[in-house]
Amino acid sequence: MKKITVGFLLALTAGSQVNAQTLKPFKNGDKIAFVGNSITEAGYYGSNVWLYYMTRFPEQRITVLNTGIGGDVVGQMNARFEDDVLPKKPNVVVLTFGMNDTGYMEYNQAGAEEFAKKKVEKSYNDYLLLEAKLKKQPSITPVIMSSSPYDETMKNKNNYYKDKSKAMEQIVAFQQEAAKKNGWAYVDLFHPMTEINLREQKAKPEFTITGPDRIHPGRGGHLIMAATFLKNQGLAGKPVAKIDIDAKKGTAVVENAKVEVTKKSDAGVSFNYLANALPFPIDSVSGVWENPQTQADALAVYPFIEEFNQELLKVKNLKKGNYNLIIDGKKISTFSADSLAKGINMALLSNTPQYQQAKAVMYLNDLRLDLEKKLREYYWLQFNYFKGEDLLFADTELAFEKVNEEAKKNWFVKSKMGVYQTARFPEVRKMWQENVNQLTDRIYEINQPKSHLVEIVAVK
């Protein structure tokens, strides 16, 4: 096992004769474990990836597993790999680290450069231990994913640690090189998100797609993380559906859908429409602690709609005038003949029945995530406290008494106690997991696209 040095790090960035594998789209039956720190534990980017698959590929059932634990460095991920990740039996493991590995407040103290060097060296050598374990799992396809960036350039007095981002770049470099060396897929979140920050901060210095603490992305940042991951899978530009109808001829050119024209004329047209997918529903709420960011904030700086949410309807050869779009007897909106000829994106119309169906999927997925987060809080205590006390998964009265005492002096432990009071009982955890499974089953029932009668009717 080669120990990392500064010279070796420089060599890593010089390139390799081996290329990382392309990140292939997930297939039916895949179980994907995202292994990471608090950004992963928050669950939103993994949940967004899954929501995309739930709505875009409703016939292909996959499972996305959250195995993130707040505060973790790669050494801790390695230490819990056998007890936390492997028991879930994933066939794909997405490993991401770097934010905590590089440290924080030490960058504002003397000796910061030497501190950063040692942190990067330790991260690399600890990573090698986990790499070796992954290589011994032939049933697992590993994927290396860089951390989202520490936003060092935003105008904000909070949590400013000079040159922390430079240390993170060194970790990103060895992650990419490790993927190339092993022929594993690699996803870079760090550089694309940094580019967005730098671009937007030229006009608005306080802008960040990360968050006010410079560390934890909000819902908007998580959507961009998911989009970057999906783009690496080659899924950008894949439409929900495309429909191009000639109103006079009654002909239709269709992609990812079935269309049967039932009425044709230059004064209107109607057709039965069955798409193979649902639009991706955009949420309007924040969700990350002390981060007000919403998904709408991401739409302003990243072309998510253009890349991932196109349900295009074109109707040509209509008489000039305005037309109502009616779906299943309900008026959706009004468009001019010119607008319909150019094409409208129905995925932007939140009152269509297909969008409402997608929202129902989203709400159930959010509920599933909420239950999964409770389970992750239980695992946080197991690996951040009980393992060090030789009480891993003990859940005895003695364990409860000891963690109660620790909570009096440890804020992080205290923050998990509300969940642990009930999660320590296996019956409760079993019930939560069963609820997660039931919600997932229900999602894959209600996410199946339905046939709709679409009418383009002239406004009189």
* Within-domain flag for 146: yes
Sign of the four-CA dihedral 333, 339, 340, 345? negative
Q: CA-CA distance, 83 to 85, in Å (whole number)?
A: 6
Q: So what's the pLDDT on residue 17? A: 45
The per-residue b/e assignment along 221-238, b for 16 or more CB within 10 angstroms, e otherwise, is bbbbbbbbbbbbbebeeb
Q: So what's the pLDDT on residue 9? A: 52
* Within-domain flag for 143: yes
Residue 318 phi/psi, 5-degree rounding, is: -95, 150
Q: So what's the pLDDT on residue 6? A: 44
Q: CA-CA distance, 46 to 49, in Å (whole number)?
A: 5
The per-residue b/e assignment along 21-52, b for 16 or more CB within 10 angstroms, e otherwise, is bebebbeeebbbbbbbbbbbbbbbbbbbbbbb
Distance of CA 220 to the CA centre of its chain: 10
Q: What is the span of the domain harbouring residue 431?
A: 358-446
Residue with tokens 């928050």: 42
The answer to whether residues 185 and 49 belong to one domain is yes
Of 203, 232, 261, the residue that ends a domain is 232
- DSSP-based helix, strand, coil % in the chain, nearest 5: 45, 20, 35
User: How is residue 384 annotated by DSSP?
Assistant: I
Report pLDDT digits (tens) over 343-373: 999 999 999 999 999 999 999 999 999 999 9
Q: Would you give the end-to-end CA distance of the chain in angstroms?
A: 78
* Within-domain flag for 115: yes
Q: So what's the pLDDT on residue 460? A: 86
| E strand intervals along 166-310 | 185-187, 241-246, 251-255, 257-265, 268-275
By the 10 Å C-beta count (0-12 exposed, 13-18 middle, 19+ buried), 357 is classed as buried
* Within-domain flag for 388: yes
**In this structure, are residues 339 and 269 in contact, taking their beta carbons and an 8 Å threshold?**
no
* Within-domain flag for 103: yes
Output the DSSP codes for 76-137. Answer: HHHHTIIIIIGGG--SEEEEEE-TTTT-SGGGGSTTHHHHHHHHHHHHHHHHHHHHHHHHT-
Residue 299 phi/psi, 5-degree rounding, is: -65, -25
Report how many domains make up the chain: 2
* Within-domain flag for 336: no
Identify the helix (H) or strand (E) that includes residue 216: none
Q: So what's the pLDDT on residue 29? A: 98
Of 200, 232, 264, the residue that ends a domain is 232
What distances in angstroms separate CA 203 from CA 194, 198, 200, 220, 298, one per listed residue? 15, 9, 6, 19, 16
The answer to whether residues 226 and 362 belong to one domain is no
* Within-domain flag for 424: yes
Tell me the CATH number at 104: 3.40.50.1110
Of the candidates 439, 442, 438, 384, the one whose C-alpha atom is nearest the C-alpha of residue 415 is 384
The answer to whether residues 162 and 18 belong to one domain is yes
Report pLDDT digits (tens) over 71-126: 999 999 999 999 999 999 999 999 999 999 999 999 999 999 999 999 999 999 99
Q: So what's the pLDDT on residue 291? A: 75
Residue with tokens 């109707």: 315
Of 232, 262, 284, the residue that ends a domain is 232
Chunked into runs of 10 residues, the chain (460 residues) has average pLDDT values of 48 50 95 98 97 98 98 98 98 98 96 97 98 98 98 94 97 98 98 97 96 94 98 97 97 98 96 98 75 88 97 98 98 98 97 98 97 97 96 96 96 96 97 98 98 96
Residue 259 phi/psi, 5-degree rounding, is: -135, 135
pTM of the model: 0.94
* Within-domain flag for 352: no
The answer to whether residues 46 and 187 belong to one domain is yes
Q: So what's the pLDDT on residue 4? A: 52
Of the candidates 236, 352, 242, 365, the one whose C-alpha atom is nearest the C-alpha of residue 304 is 236
Q: So what's the pLDDT on residue 402? A: 96
Of the candidates 354, 268, 251, 260, the one whose C-alpha atom is nearest the C-alpha of residue 311 is 354
